[in-house]
Structure 1
Amino acid sequence: MKFIFCLIVSMACFTSLSQESNSLKDALKNPDQTTSLKVNCPDDEKLIRVVQLKNLNQLYIKDCSLKNVPSKLGELTKLTLLNVENNNLESLPDGLQTLNNLAVLNLRGNDFKQLPQVLGKLPALRELDLADNPMLDLDMAMDVLLSIENLDFLYLSQNRLESLPDRLADLKALQELHLTGNPNLDLNKAFDILSKMATLKILVLEDNEISTIPVGLQQMKQLDGLVLDKNSTLKIDDLASRLENLPELKVLLLRNNGIEKLPENLNGFQHLAVLELSGNRFSEDEKQRIKENLKDTVVKF
């Protein structure tokens, strides 16, 4: 149930508590004690000085218009998390292949057209955020993605996707996939591929202008969590009929969908552990009806 907990509480599933510093200057005063650092847009010379922090586990270099990541960062061999979101990166240096403990890599909001080959040389990499890289050629990226043996979290949100590569189904370890904010995605073809992903436990389809869930959802019987927030045209009756065929589904998020009423027959919701319905338009009577009929489900309004 680890992934379900992460889904409800936080997406930063691998982030741990550590001694954190927001100043490189302060961190360098106690280099052996600093394990987490948020760097405020350093120049190249200052950024290279980060490698003096040999016990660094987490490094954040966000919103800095950064165009290059220094190869020297490969010396931070204890690094488990690297966040370089919202920069201007198009590549990563091969020198990062020495980051043998790197489990989480956030490349969100950059300018990647192709994925760096070095990603396939990071043996501990499990979570990769590629959201908001609209120029990324996902078909060409599959060779690199398939070389990441332990990849189980993948974020492809806000990437202007119209289709998913067939080879996405070959990601044999993948357990959580985020496809938020891709309203032009062909869901019928997408579910043909998603239904073949036997290890996928959590699927996030928030803000995708979904009206009807394809029948392919019924084939995803291993699914634990499904996120359908911010899909205001979603047909709830059709969804409910699909849910009856997903006995392992434990968490369903339907927040901010403008829903006024659930179907009279709530059989499709009976097996859920958590049903999130906040941000909708239920009357108090309807809320009471739902709670009375789903007594074994934690329902949140």
Structure 2
Amino acid sequence: MLTSRFCLPLLILLQSPYLYSHQHSVNLTLEDFGFQSLNISKATFRSVDKIQVLEFSNVNIYIIENGSLCSAAPEKIIFRDSGFSKLNKSHFGGCPSLTTLVFDHSGMTIGDETFSVLFSLKYLHFVEQYMDKVSKNFLKNLTSLENLSFSSCYLHVIEADAFDDLRSLKHLSLSENMLLKFDGLLTPNLNQLTTLSIGLDYLESFPLEDLQHVPNLEKLWLNDNYNITRFDQFSTTVMLKLRLINLSSNKLVHFPWNYLQYVPNLEELMLDYNGLKTAFGGLLTVEMRKLRKLHLEQNYLDDFSWSDLELMPNLEELILSSNKISWNRSVKSIIGRSTKLRKLYLNDNKLKHFPSDILQDMPYLEKLHLENNEISTVFDLPANLQALQELHLNHNNLTDFQRMANLDNLRKLDLSYNNLIDFHWSVLYYMTNLKSLILSNNKIQNILGEPRRDNIKKLKKLYLNNNELKHFPWNSLQYMPGLEELYLANNKIKIVSVEFLALSRLQKLDLKHNNLDDFKYNVSGSMPNLHVLI
């Protein structure tokens, strides 16, 4: 079969009642090249056996002859930035081949039952299509429809029973509209639904009890409604297939943690950017073995019941950033069994102490974010953090940083924006895979000791800018053969020693705003890739 794609200016269509060249199968785009109206008739497509994709782009359609849209048996029709007075079912006629229909900012009015003759339609998408409401007959007879979306369509109302004929529907998206409620719209006929998205609307609540009608639901997106204050309607329906609940960016002041017993296979729970003051509160009574991600960022938590992590043995990502959590060594700090947590975010809280107690039960931890707290000392680092790859302690009150053993896999250490005065190379003795060391914006005056020969050979980036260094130990560079970037700007360094010339991989040397006597090295020939900033 010959398949081609071509684009016709309206001039050709206005000059001739049908396409000149015979094609067996085409993708046809009709675009506006300056003409204001277009007449569509069956004769327009007389010489085309079949159109796979028929697209109207930026045209004003004046007349559509009854049955003409499906006269060439298209599989997909797109109306993009194109207008028509009122589309109805007679313009389609019988159209067994049509599976996809898209209205993208089309500006046309669509009558009730327009799609009732499209029995094979599987995908129906509306994007920036002003509609205000979906009537109970708007989606009539679409029993084969699998994917339906209304995105940015200004929808205020969806009438009761509007989805009753959608027995095959799997994905429903109603995001970025103006919906205030969704009560009563999940009916038993939607029992094939797997994804429901009502994000960026204005919902004040969600009918949790209606989920009993959609037992195959896997993903529930209710994020960014900003007005949902409760999610606590009583429901005892077990949702075995529900894997994701996203309620981020709402106004939840509490969450029904006991509801989780009815979603035993939940993998992701997003509750960030709400008004929660407590988490769990003893209400989590069943083991959530499938839960992988729990997001509680940007709430009002002042404590966290770490012991409840026992009921989430396979949790991999826990985000508690931007709360009011302060550290106290209480029973709530004890987990009691090893977790599989890989990412822990405790940044932007009110921690005064390094949380060693809980870390001892996290042998798989790879990323630890503790930046923007009030931590002044780091001690008693657990010996089982061999998997840790990133440690973020920037923007704290550290005045000292002691040697840490068992950090062989650490790739990134960020200690910037603290109050360090001295830094000792011995801190890095057990960080043999370190690639990025960030010490900028401290008060470092001295770099003490000497690196071990093999402990920092993989270091690629060293940040010491914005400190109080008068001398930099240039001889230490011999232990960093892979160094690519060295940042020493905004110090008080006077001398640059010749040792940096041995760094064959060095690409950037930043020496701006120092007290350099002179920079006498010509690196253009020996180090052509090096960019020196003085």
- Report the TM-score, using the length of structure 2 for normalisation: 0.41
Shift of 1:67: 1.9
Distance 1:105 1:147, change over 3 A: same
What is residue 355 of structure 2 aligned with on the other side? Answer: 263
Per the alignment, residue 493 of structure 2 pairs with: none
Quick check: 1:293 aligned with 2:385? yes
Q: Deviations over 1:9-61 (max 9, x none)?
A: xxxxxxxxxx8979597998873145463521533238976778776543332
User: Does 1 or 2 have the higher relative contact order (CA < 8 Å, sep 6+)?
Assistant: 1
Counterpart Cα distance in 1 of 2:391 and 2:284: 22
Whole-angstrom CA distance in 1 between matches of 2:109 and 2:391: 50
Kindly state the Cα deviation for residue 151 of structure 1 after the two structures are TM-superposed.
2.0
Q: Could you tell me which residue of structure 2 aligns to residue 216 of structure 1?
A: 283
* Separation in 2, partners of 1:81, 1:40: 19
Larger strand share, 1 or 2: 2
Would you say how many aligned residue pairs link Structure 1 and Structure 2?
270
CA drift at 1:80: 2.2
Query: Which amino acid letter does the alignment assign opposite residue 61 of structure 1?
Result: F
In the TM superposition, residue 115 of structure 1 has moved relative to its aligned partner by 2.8
Q: Aligned equivalents of 2:288 and 2:307: distance in 1? A: 14
Classify the secondary structure of the residue corresponding to 1:83: strand
Q: Work out the CA distance in 1 between the residues paired with 2:139 and 2:73.
A: 18
| CA displacement, residues 63-114 of structure 1 (integer Å, 9 cap, x when unaligned) | 4442233635445554322121442232246464333331111223332435
% identical equivalent positions: 19
Structure 2 CA distance for aligned equivalents of residues 114 and 33 of structure 1? 30
> 1:143-154 residue pairs with structure 2 within 5 A?
144-154=210-220
Q: What residue is the counterpart of 2:448 in the other structure?
A: none
Correspondence for 1:225 among 292, 302, 317: 292
CA–CA distance in structure 1, aligned partners of residues 145 and 390 of structure 2: 38
Secondary structure of 2:110's match?
Answer: helix
CA distance in 2, matches of 1:144, 1:245: 27
Distance across 2 between alignment mates of 1:135 and 1:94: 21
* Structure with the bigger percentage of helix: 1
Q: What is the CA-CA distance between 1:297 and the residue it aligns to? A: 8.1
Go from structure 1 to structure 2 and tell me whether the alpha carbon gap of 1:208 and 1:95 turns closer, same or farther (over 3 Å shift): closer
1:111 paired with 2:179, answer yes
Q: Which residue is 2:203 aligned to?
A: 134
* Contiguous gaps of at least 5 residues in structure 1: 1-18
| Structure 2 residue ranges without an equivalent (≥5) | 1-52, 62-68, 78-99, 324-345, 393-411, 413-534
Question: Residue 135 of structure 1: CA displacement?
Answer: 4.3
Give the equivalent residue in structure 1 for 2:94: none
Matched, 1:45 2:113: no
Residue matched to 1:32:
75
Partner of 1:12: none
**1:76–1:270 distance in 2 versus 1, CA, 3 Å:** farther
Letter in 1 for 2:228: R
Deviations 1:135-158 (A, max 9, x none): 45x4xx355432223223223333
What residue number does 1:59 align with?
Answer: 124
The aligned residue for residue 198 of structure 1 is 264
Q: Deviations over 1:231-280 (max 9, x none)?
A: 26545x735443244212233345666716762131454456x76859x5
Q: Whose radius of gyration is greater, 1 or 2?
A: 2
> Which of 228, 250, 258 is the equivalent residue of 2:316?
250
Quote the offset at 1:207 in angstroms: 0.8
2:133 match: 68
2:107·2:130 contact (CA, 8 Å) conserved in 1?
no
- 1:297 to 1:221, Cα distance in 2 relative to 1, 3 A: farther
Q: Which secondary structure state, in structure 2, belongs to the residue aligned with residue 242 of structure 1?
A: helix
Distance 1:20 1:116 in 2: 37
Q: Which residue of 2 is the match for residue 4 of structure 1?
A: none
Indicate yes or no: 2:165 matched with 1:98: yes
**Is this contact kept in 2: 1:153–1:175, CA < 8 A?**
yes
Give the whole-Å Cα distance in 2 for the aligned partners of 1:276 and 1:93.
49
Partner of 1:165: 233
1:53, 1:24 → 2: CA distance?
Answer: 24
Q: Tell me how far 1:213 sits from its aligned partner.
A: 1.9
Structure 1 residues 67 and 227, CA gap change in structure 2 (3 angstroms): same
